[in-house]
Amino acid sequence: MFEHILLPLDGSSLAERVLPHAVALSEAFNSKLTLLRVIHKGNEEEQNNIINPMAWQIKKAEAEAYLKSVQDRLAEIDLDSDIKILEGNPAQQIIEFARNEDVELIILSSHGSSGVSAWNINSTVQKVLLRAFVPVMIIRAYEEEIGTLIGLKYQRLFLPLDGSKRAECILPMAKSICSAQDSKVFLTHIIEEPRLPRQTPVSDEVKSIIEQLKGLNFKEANTYLAQLKEQFEPERVETIIESSEKPSITMHNIIDREQIDLVMLSAHGYSGESRWPYGKIALSFIVYGTTPLIIMQDLSHEEAGITLAEKFAEQSKGH
């Protein structure tokens, strides 16, 4: 499934938090790994659009030495990898490399050389997420560091499903990880309770209709998740069905309650708008999630189209 995994590294220990996860997924999918370092121009060079050849060679040599050291560490555990050095804006170079080199998964640390901030992800990660249009994995840099490259286990996988085929695109990957790591899978469906925008008390008749609707939804959800459960080893699957006025909050509560260590979901569900790269549930996990997160992107760059900001930026270049 993921034959080519990209690891952008900036030389910091925070960015290297991705390495044990890359090893675990590479073993599960027999993936090719590419270690990428982007050399960023300084502010003065950006303003003047000039490159100091000597400074570039020094930075390139340092980047090569760093990536070679990481490559050697991976080789010690019999894992091959390629190295690549690019120059320019980190987010843009990561995005273009992923598109041009058929990258099937980008693994990003939430923070890097600029340090951990109060924001859940840094600006580079945000930009890559919004415009790469490939599956992305986010590792929370503020979590406790894993001391070794090998042995990482995803013991409890959380898969939110809404009954749509778009949401189910995460299932093949989940099955591969479950098989490789003997993980337990939590197939979860949250029924969104209807909310009536009124201040007057709800009549007994309306309450009865709401309860009937909830009962029907629970019945359908049970049948749906039971069918999906058959795709896994039954003893490794637990199904969770809950109703809530605020599904995303309920999902985060379940993750805490069940001690989930990997969240896996599609970028969109049945109500997802193709003009935006992520639906509201995926955005909730990007912005507020605290566990490792894999998002399967179900849109291509062509399907999403160019944004108004991108159009304006392109027009501005010509002036």
For residue range 262-281, what is the model confidence (pLDDT) as tens digits?
Answer: 999 999 998 767 778 999 99
Q: Which residues pair with 52 in a beta bridge?
A: none
More confident residue, 101 or 114: 101
Other Cβ atoms less than 10 A from the Cβ of 69: the count is 10
54-104 tens-digit pLDDT: 777 888 899 999 999 999 999 999 999 999 999 999 999 999 999 999 999
* CA proximity to 17, closest of 137, 181, 117: 137
Pair 117, 232 in one domain: no
- Residue 119 has phi, psi (to 5 degrees) of -80, 145
Has residue 308 been placed in a domain?
no
Longest Cα pair distance anywhere in the chain, in angstroms? 79
pLDDT of 36 over the 90 cut: yes
Tokens 């809404």 sit on residue: 162
Has residue 244 been placed in a domain?
yes
Output the DSSP codes for 304-316. Answer: H---HHHHHHHHH
Pair 186, 82 in one domain: no
Both tokens of 199, joined, read 């201040």
* CATH code of the domain in which 205 resides: 3.40.50.620
Pair 20, 121 in one domain: yes
Question: How long, in residues, is the chain?
Answer: 319
Write the CB contacts of 204 (distance below 8 Å, at least 6 apart in sequence): none
Sign of CA pseudo-dihedral 19, 22, 26, 27: positive
Pair 272, 192 in one domain: yes
Has residue 164 been placed in a domain?
yes
* CA proximity to 73, closest of 62, 81, 61, 84: 81
Instruction: State what percent of residues in the chain have pLDDT above 90.
Output: 71
Has residue 227 been placed in a domain?
yes
Pair 180, 38 in one domain: no
- Residue 55 has phi, psi (to 5 degrees) of -60, -40
Please give the average per-residue pLDDT across 285-303, as a whole number: 91
Q: Which domain holds residue 216?
A: 153-285
Has residue 21 been placed in a domain?
yes
Has residue 299 been placed in a domain?
no
More confident residue, 172 or 50: 172
* Domain end point (choices 120, 152, 184): 152
pLDDT value of position 25: 96
DSSP state of 319: -
Pair 14, 147 in one domain: yes
Pair 166, 281 in one domain: yes
What is the number of domains present in the chain?
2
pLDDT value of position 291: 96
Pair 170, 72 in one domain: no
Pair 127, 263 in one domain: no
Pair 175, 213 in one domain: yes
Has residue 295 been placed in a domain?
no
Has residue 300 been placed in a domain?
no
Confidence of residue 47 (pLDDT cuts 50, 70, 90): very low
Helix (H) or strand (E) holding 7: strand 4-8
pLDDT value of position 160: 97
Helices (H), the chain: 19-29, 43-48, 53-75, 90-100, 123-131, 171-181, 204-229, 247-258, 280-288, 301-304, 308-317
Q: Nearest 5 degrees, angle CA 233-CA 239-CA 244? A: 160
Residues 269-303 as b or e (16 or more Cβ within 10 Å = b): beebeeebbbbebbbbbbeebebbbbbbbbbeeee
Write the CB contacts of 51 (distance below 8 Å, at least 6 apart in sequence): 41, 45, 87
160-208 tens-digit pLDDT: 999 999 999 999 999 999 999 999 999 999 998 877 776 678 788 888 8
Which conformational region is residue 4 in: left (phi greater than 0), alpha (psi within -120 to 50 degrees), or beta? beta
